Amino acid sequence: GGFTARDALTLAPGALTLCLLTGLIVSFLRSLREGDAKVVDTRLVNGVEVKGTSGPQTVFNICKNIVGEGMLSLPSGVAAGTGLLGSMVIALAFCMILGYTFSLMGRVCHATGGVSHKECGERSSGPRMAQIMSVTLMLKTIGTCLSYAIVIGDSFSRILHYFGIVGIFTSRQVSLVSVMVVVLVPLCMQKDLSILSYTSLLGLIFEVFVVCFMQVRYLDGSYAPGGQFYGAIDEVYVPNFEDGVDYWGTSITTFVLLGTLSNAYIAHYNAPKFFSQMRTRTVNQFNSVITLAFVFSLSIYLWIMAVGYLTFGSAVDGLVLDNYAESDGGAMVARVAIGFAVVFGFPLAFTALRDSTISTLNLDRDCSSVFRTVTVGLLVPITITACFVRDLGFVNSLMGAFLGGMVTLAYPGMLAYFAGSSTPGGKDEFSRSEVYGAWAWIAL
């Protein structure tokens, strides 16, 4: 009965998310109407002139690169033994830290003139460190793209089964190959990030829709005792608040949530690309874009944490949409939406894999034939592997966490230190405190 503090915990981040998305879309439409007026210059990328991305387009791409299906696991991280408000504070802390190291990458690009981790490394610390960075990025993004491909195959196979379609053509293998050929190959062939911003926006709208659906079900009490779908879910998914709502608790499982959130803002492997393809390539503009992107990502994370946990309590599943009844039409639409959102995230991760592969092998990045050959040469083995592997397992989780830490913390810190110590542009860009403070990120 009546509006409660719990309702406010779900509605506040939801309102912030919707306001930010609406403002960004309005700004995006305004920039489209202005057309090429804001294009400062064009740049040759893989043999093709690109006009680059406007501010809102860059925000869409960064947000979609950050926010994926992993957001569905955040409520279970709270339910596992970390209080809701404590979890929100942890999410805020990681947002601030990783947003700053993301900014460092753009500033290093500005100081050195590099357009990739390898170029920045070569100009600040030498070829050996640059090559190590390039190989690390390649390994990290191979795992990321494989994970995406596995989820895409599973998601679309499950969606077809939900609609009662059965047979060989609904298998995860056929589903993945179909999506890869029809949707992903054309998107992965794009050289200009401004093209991908449209699908990034669609992906973000789908993700916001999913949490909006969860918010509606929370407010209408459909899954509360006596609610419309309360009796339609398995016993294991029935909302459980026997111990009340935990706001500030901690336990050994808090380390699991820390691990999850430490990887929740990873888009750093694309930071040089995002900076170099901006229409207005200034540090101030890049920092403005990062602030909007990371605040939006944080708000949707806080929103789904609150609404997922406060709907199901300790019974919330590792993929929160599995808690909702199969007879719930809204849940069906939400599952389809998250499937497409994952598809639209794949090209951004793949862009980083292709760029790091070209850098590692010292290929000509401005040659169109190299671009096409590497694109196909990577998509084929990724697709084949994802067809026969269901789970990358513990090794990938461990390596993913280690490589993720290198990409998000250690490498931005190293590059900022070396650029600030040894390059003229870096000495102008970074203060002495920032140069020596970079060791804090390396240590983390």
In Å, what is the CA distance from 128 to each residue of 40, 124, 125, 132, 335?
35, 11, 8, 6, 45
Whole-structure pTM value: 0.94
Residue pLDDT, tens place only, 343-400? 999 999 999 999 999 999 999 988 999 999 999 999 999 999 999 888 766 556 667 7
Residue pLDDT, tens place only, 178-211? 999 999 999 999 988 999 999 999 999 999 999 9
* pLDDT at 211 (0 to 100): 98
Out of 44-48, 140-144, 301-305, least confident range: 44-48
More confident residue, 3 or 91: 91
Q: What are the residues facing 240 on neighbouring strands?
A: 313
* pLDDT at 442 (0 to 100): 81
Give, for 49, the enclosing helix (H) or strand (E): strand 48-50
Residue 226 phi, psi dihedral angles, 5° rounding = 90, -5
* pLDDT at 82 (0 to 100): 92
> Stretch 10-33: mean pLDDT, rounded?
94
Q: Is 240 helix (H, G, I), strand (E, B) or coil?
A: strand
- Asked if the model's pLDDT at residue 46 lies above 50, the reply is no
Pairing mode of beta strands 43-45, 48-50: antiparallel
Residue pLDDT, tens place only, 218-255? 999 999 999 999 999 999 999 999 989 999 999 998 98
Classify the phi-psi angles of 166: left when phi > 0, otherwise alpha if psi is within -120 to 50, otherwise beta: beta
The two structure tokens encoding residue 206: 């789908």
> Stretch 254-277: mean pLDDT, rounded?
91
CB 361 within 8 A of CB 201: no
